[in-house]
Amino acid sequence: MEDQFYQKLNQILPSEQITQKELMENHTSLHIGGAADYFVTPKTSDELHSVILLCKNENMPYYIIGNGSNLLVSDQGYRGMIIRLGENFSSVWVKDDGKIAAQAGILLAKLASVAADHSLTGFEFASGIPGTFGGAVTMNAGAYDGEMKHCLTGARVMDEKGNILELSLEDLKLGYRTSILQTKNYVLLEADIQLSKGDEQKIREKMNDLNRQRREKQPLNQYSAGSTFKRPQGYFAGKLINDAGLRGYQVGRAAVSEKHCGFVINKDHATAKEFLTVIEDVSRIVNEKFGVKLEPEVKFLGDF
């Protein structure tokens, strides 16, 4: 049956865009995760549509990733297909009115650099977020008082039937780490951001300053999925974790970062089970001590 599925898939994508039994530890910022049955990298929206349609017709589960920067994949991997929108899906178009259109797979750092090249300001906050534009729009990513909703003007998405929809900023329903893309299972194809004319040197200075602050405060030299927990209303997750005495708390090779308690890190070939145990323990202990429930910001994929 797998051979038949591969043959059908190979009619849509060339073999160099298809991998079987691909280790997901090679495709997440945590460097954790077993093998996915299929791993594909479509280059166009037509290829993406055809791949999704095949999965639906063949009852093949699928999951779409970008840079894998907010994802914990099970040690058992993923029984289905991973569709990666990365460098094959990363075109960008700069327009005369300060508007930039970009595909989902472009890295935020690259998109911020393109904006700076054209002396456009308003996207500096995203320059150090280690993800793709698609993932950032889907979860309304933000940092240093900036969020995607502050610069987005609209998007083109694909629904579960393969229809391409034009969504306005209002249609996107962007909230704290959420959007309509999550609730409707839409896939971002492209989105538009509106920026303002600025001074290139000042823009780059601001980007450098924000990245310097990140290096000083966050464990960027260790494997993580960024902020592990959502910010609870009225609190800061990192402070709660620190005040609970959990700085450096470790299970196996997964641990709360000594540098920033809001990050759980993979110290040395940690397993997904170890990482999840740290998350669960931290959430339970903080709730017991302070009555605040910490919700993971990290997405979980596979069987745990």
Q: Is residue 288 among the annotated active site residues?
A: no
Spatial distance between the Cα atoms of 34 and 273, rounded to a whole number of angstroms: 12
With H, G, I as helix, E, B as strand and everything else as coil, classify residue 120: strand
As to burial, measured by CB atoms within 10 angstroms (0-12 exposed, 13-18 middle, 19+ buried), residue 97 is: exposed
> Within 10 Å of residue 146's Cβ, how many Cβ atoms?
18
Greatest alpha-carbon pair distance for the chain in Å reads 58
Tokens (6 digits) for 146: 């900036």
Q: Which of 227, 257, 274, 283 is catalytic?
A: 227
In DSSP terms, 143 is beta-bridged to 146
With H, G, I as helix, E, B as strand and everything else as coil, classify residue 146: strand
Backbone angles phi, psi at 272, to 5 degrees: -65, -35
Q: Is residue 284 among the annotated active site residues?
A: no
Q: Which of 47, 147, 190, 297 is catalytic?
A: 297
Q: Which of 69, 156, 177, 190 is catalytic?
A: 177
Q: Is residue 84 among the annotated active site residues?
A: no
Spatial distance between the Cα atoms of 236 and 230, rounded to a whole number of angstroms: 9
Spatial distance between the Cα atoms of 127 and 105, rounded to a whole number of angstroms: 15
On whether the CB atoms of residues 132 and 186 are closer than 8 A, the answer is: no
Instruction: Write the CB contacts of 253 (distance below 8 Å, at least 6 apart in sequence).
Output: 266, 267, 268, 269, 270, 271, 274
Give me the active site residues, please. Answer: 177, 227, 297
